[in-house]
């Protein structure tokens, strides 16, 4: 068997999160090898973009966002399991985004944001766009609500854009927000949470479409072992990781429905 690739690049900051993610993979890698799986990499692959890893033909384990899954990855990957995070805004495998504004902003409701400048991390994001759009769509007129939209490339950059006055509002994944609050709280000093979006299923762990049933079962087994392993308690605490639940394709359909609902309201894109 060819060497496989592993990429867990969705939550890699602040630095304690990156270190804990590497430690989690070291455990998973060793466990997979003990169970007889071949071609298991010792380290996470950082040589390819996170989204390129999702469809790499040798992908052993990756983590994607639910919105790209329903938009472009269905049939191209297999769902393995969805993590449960113990952070505010999470409920089982579901999570929301926090709509943030400057701490000094006078706005009190989403409706008050009409004509503001919005920051998004990237157009394909569930937390930064799809959930955000669902909150804004009921207030849009003729397909518009904001005066302008800036794309930042990441949630932390969106936080900074609001803090620095580049944007007036952004929607931040509650896990990123929680990790930042724990390990980089000063970054949040200039913003406050205005509202929460609707919740949707969180970021699933995936493998390549050609993976066998036995391989998927093995991956699920070692993920559960990682939750039960006493020596990994500090890693789980750093990641706020509480468990894994296998979700099927239908569990992610509500994210596609949020997009369809926004279209029905005449608000297909954040604008």
Residue 13: per-residue pLDDT? 92
Give ranges for CATH 3.40.190.10 in the chain. Answer: 5-87+202-256, 91-200
Q: What is the CA radius of gyration of the chain?
A: 19
What are the residues whose beta carbons fall under 8 Å from the beta carbon of 244, sequence distance 6 or more?
81, 82, 83, 84, 205, 220, 223, 224, 227
- Give the dihedral of Cα atoms 76, 152, 236, 243; nearest 10 deg: -40
| DSSP-derived pairing of the beta strands 117-120 and 169-173 | parallel
* Domain boundaries 91-200, corresponding CATH code: 3.40.190.10
Return d(Cα 65, Cα 150) in angstroms, integer: 21
Element (H, E) at 214: helix 213-228
The CA-to-CA distance between both ends of the chain, in Å, stands at 48
Q: Would you tell me how many other CB atoms lie within 10 Å of the CB of residue 81?
A: 20
Query: pTM here?
Result: 0.95
Residue 48: per-residue pLDDT? 86
Sheet holding 205-208, edge to edge: 5-7, 59-63, 205-208, 77-85, 241-245
Is the distance from CB of 247 to CB of 79 less than 8 angstroms? yes
Average pLDDT per run of 10 along the chain, which is 271 residues long?
86 95 98 96 92 94 97 97 98 98 98 98 96 98 97 97 98 98 98 98 98 97 98 98 98 98 98 97
Is the distance from CB of 96 to CB of 198 less than 8 angstroms? yes
Q: Three-state SS for 89? A: coil
CATH 3.40.190.10 describes domain 5-87+202-256:
yes
Residue 110: per-residue pLDDT? 97
SS3 content of the chain, % helix, strand, coil (to 5): 45, 20, 35
């Amino acid at each position: 068997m060819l060497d496989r690739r592993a990429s867990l690049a969705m939550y890699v900051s602040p630095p304690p999160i990156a270190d804990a993610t590497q430690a989690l993979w070291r455990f998973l890698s060793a466990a997979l090898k003990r169970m007889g799986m071949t071609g298991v990499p010792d380290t996470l692959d950082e040589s390819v973009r996170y989204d390129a890893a999702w469809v790499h033909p040798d992908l052993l384990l990756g983590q994607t966002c639910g919105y790209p899954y329903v938009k472009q990855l269905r049939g191209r990957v297999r769902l393995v399991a969805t993590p449960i995070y113990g952070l505010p805004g999470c409920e089982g495998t579901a999570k929301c985004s926090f709509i943030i504004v400057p701490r000094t902003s006078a706005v009190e409701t989403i409706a008050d944001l009409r004509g503001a400048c919005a920051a998004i991390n990237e157009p394909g994001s569930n937390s930064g766009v799809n959930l955000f759009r669902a909150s804004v769509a009921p207030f849009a007129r003729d397909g518009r609500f904001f005066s302008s939209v800036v794309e930042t490339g990441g949630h932390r950059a969106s936080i900074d854009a609001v803090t620095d006055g580049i944007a007036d509002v952004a929607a931040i994944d509650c896990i990123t927000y929680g990790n930042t609050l724990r390990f980089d709280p000063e970054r949040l000093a200039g913003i406050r949470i205005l509202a929460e979006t609707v919740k949707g299923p969180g970021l699933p762990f995936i493998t390549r479409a050609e993976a066998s049933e036995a391989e998927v079962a093995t991956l699920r087994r070692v993920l559960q072992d990682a939750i039960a392993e006493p020596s990994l308690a500090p890693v789980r605490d750093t990641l706020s990781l509480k468990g894994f639940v296998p979700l099927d394709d239908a569990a992610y359909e509500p994210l596609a429905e949020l997009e369809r609902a926004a279209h029905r309201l005449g608000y297909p894109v954040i604008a």
